[in-house]
Structure 1
C-alpha cells in the first residue's frame, strides 16, 4: 500500500515512546467513554432471550434512558475504564510484533495479521476479568436481568454504605464471583473471548490496509493519506464485526450467564433462536465499532505522527 501511494506506515522504531504513551492514554480513554453506551446496549441485546425486553438498538437506547436515566447507559463504566491497561498492552504488542515479523517478511498483510492476533491475545488476558465484572454491572437495573449476581438491595443500611464506598457495587459483584466460582470465575468466557477477539483483530488490520489500498487507487493523487485511512478503518470494522459477531454473542452469554461450555452455549442459542440469533447485537456492535474505528484510526495515526522522533519530521510527507 505504501509503495503504490507512498502512504508511509510509522513503525515502532520511529516513535518517541514517552509522547506515544502520554497521548495514547488520553486518546484511549476518550474513545471508550464515547462508545460505552453502544457497548452496554450490545451486551444487553446479546444476552436477552428473543426480543423479550428490547426490540432493537434504538428501542434499547430509549428504554434504558426512560427507566434508568443517562447513568444507566454508563453502568460499569468505571470498572471498564481499567481496560485502558489492556489498550496500552495491545498497542505495544501490535507494534513490537510488526517489528519482529518484519525481520522475516516485509509483506504488510502478514505483519498486520500476526501482529493483530498477537496483540489481541495479550490484551484479552488482561481484559476478560474486567469484562466479567463490568458486564455484570451493565445488567443491573434491567428488569429481570439474567445474571447470577446482583447487588444487595434488601438492606437499606448496607445499600447506603455500599454507595458511600468507592467502587462499592463493584466490590459486591467481585465478592460474589469469588465466593461462587473462585478466581477462575474472573476468567469465565476466556476461550470464547479469544475465539472472538483474536480473529476480530487479525481480520481488522489486514482489511484496514486492504481497503486503504483500494481507496488509494480511486482517490485523487493529492488526497490526504489520513482521509483514506479514516474511511478504511470503519470499513474494516464492519467487516470484522460481521465475521466475528456469532462468537461475540456466545462470549457474552458465557460470561453473563455463567455457562462453562462454548459449544453448548452455541448449540442452545441456535436451537432456541435459530441462525438469526447469531446476529443479535450486530447493529449495536457496528454502531460502536464503526465510529470507534474512525476515531481510533484518525487518533492513532495522528498520535503516531505527534510521537514521531524529531529527527524524522522533515523526512515524512503526509
Structure 2
C-alpha cells in the first residue's frame, strides 16, 4: 500500500487549498491526542503554582487522580488545533511551492526558516487563546474549558487570552524555523532521490522537532509563567506550593522581561530549562505522527 501511495507523490503538490486544510486538521487532532500527556507534565513542571519537576511527582498525580488526568483539557486544544493546523499546513505548502523546496540532494537554510516562521505565525494567532485555557484546565481539573474561559475573561479581561501571544510567536519563530530547516534538510540528505518513505517522514519529523523544542525551552518557560500565573493547582494548594489567597489575582509577570528576570532571580539559570525533557518528549512523537499522518492523508486524497 505504501509503495502505491508513493507512486502518487508528484500529484500531492497539485492538491487544492481546502484539501491541504483537511489533511492538516487530521494531523493536528492525531498529534495532540497522542502526545497530550507529555504536555500536561510539561505544564505542571513549568507553572509556578505546582513545581512538579520529577517523574515521581507525575506518578503521584496519576495514582491520586487516574491516568485520564493526563488528558484533562485535550478537548480544548483539539477545538483550536483543527483550524490552526489547517492554516499551518496550507501556508507550509504554499511557501514550499513558492521557494521550490524539494527532497533532493540540495540543502536549504533561509527558505525553510521563512517557511516555518510564516506557517507558525498563522497557527499561533488562531491557537493561542485556546492554549491559555488549556493550560489553566490542565492545572485545575475542577473547571471545564468553557467555564474556565469565561472566568479568565471575567477576572482578567479578554486581553488576557492574548497576553502570551507575543512570547508565543517569538518562541515559535525560532522553533518552527529550526524544525523546518532540520526537517527539509534531513529529507534531502537521506532521501536525495526524492522518494521519501513514511518511516522517513516519521523519523525526520521526530528528530527535527525534538532538537528544535529543546533549543527553545527557555522561551516556553516564560510563556507558561505568563499564561498560568493566576491558576493555583488544587493538587498542591495544601502542600505549601500554592499562592496566598490575597495574591491570587495579583499579576507577578507583566512582561517578557519581568518574567525572565523573576525566573532568574528565584530559580537561577536552570529555571529556564524546566520541563525540557517532557517538552522534547511531547514534540518528538507529536511531530513524527503529525507529519506522517499529513503526508499519508495527502496521498490518500491524491489517489482517491
Aligned to 1:198: 173
Aligned to 2:164: 189
Per-residue deviation at 1:284?
Answer: 0.3
Aligned to 1:234: 206
Output aligned runs, 1:141-180, within 5 Å: 141=141, 151=143, 169-180=144-155
Higher RCO (C-alpha under 8 Å, 6+ residues apart): 2
Question: For 1:197-251, what per-residue CA distance to the aligned partner results, in whole angstroms no more than 9, with x for missing partners?
Answer: 121111101111222333348xxx9996433332221221121011111000100
**Equivalent residues of 1:38, 1:287 under 8 A apart:** yes
Inter-partner Cα distance in structure 2 for 1:26 and 1:223: 23
Unaligned runs of 5+ in 1: 1-7, 142-149, 152-168, 311-318
Matched, 1:71 2:86: no
Output aligned runs, 1:105-116, within 5 Å: 108-116=108-116
Query: CA separation of 1:38/1:95 partners in 2, compared to 1, >3 Å: closer, same or farther?
Result: same
Among residues 94, 98, 114, which one is paired with 1:96 in the alignment? 94
Per-residue deviation at 1:109?
Answer: 3.5
Per-residue deviation at 1:292?
Answer: 1.3
Inter-partner Cα distance in structure 2 for 1:24 and 1:124: 15
Normalised TM-score (structure 1): 0.76
Aligned to 1:271: 265
Aligned to 2:125: 125
Per-residue deviation at 1:68?
Answer: 1.6
Query: CA separation of 1:72/1:291 partners in 2, compared to 1, >3 Å: closer, same or farther?
Result: same
Unaligned runs of 5+ in 2: 1-7, 230-250
**Equivalent residues of 1:90, 1:120 under 8 A apart:** yes
Question: For 1:31-60, what per-residue CA distance to the aligned partner results, in whole angstroms no more than 9, with x for missing partners?
Answer: 2111111111111101147xx65342x324
Per-residue deviation at 1:96?
Answer: 1.7
Query: CA separation of 1:192/1:67 partners in 2, compared to 1, >3 Å: closer, same or farther?
Result: same
Aligned to 1:291: 285
Query: CA separation of 1:239/1:172 partners in 2, compared to 1, >3 Å: closer, same or farther?
Result: same
Aligned to 1:87: 85
Question: For 1:149-180, what per-residue CA distance to the aligned partner results, in whole angstroms no more than 9, with x for missing partners?
Answer: x85xxxxxxxxxxxxxxxxx323322222122
**Equivalent residues of 1:16, 1:309 under 8 A apart:** no
Inter-partner Cα distance in structure 1 for 2:200 and 2:87: 26
Inter-partner Cα distance in structure 2 for 1:25 and 1:199: 23
Aligned to 2:237: none
Inter-partner Cα distance in structure 2 for 1:308 and 1:302: 10
**Equivalent residues of 1:12, 1:95 under 8 A apart:** no
Normalised TM-score (structure 2): 0.79
Query: CA separation of 1:23/1:207 partners in 2, compared to 1, >3 Å: closer, same or farther?
Result: closer
Query: CA separation of 1:38/1:11 partners in 2, compared to 1, >3 Å: closer, same or farther?
Result: farther
Inter-partner Cα distance in structure 2 for 1:181 and 1:224: 48
Q: Secondary structure at the match of 1:174?
A: helix
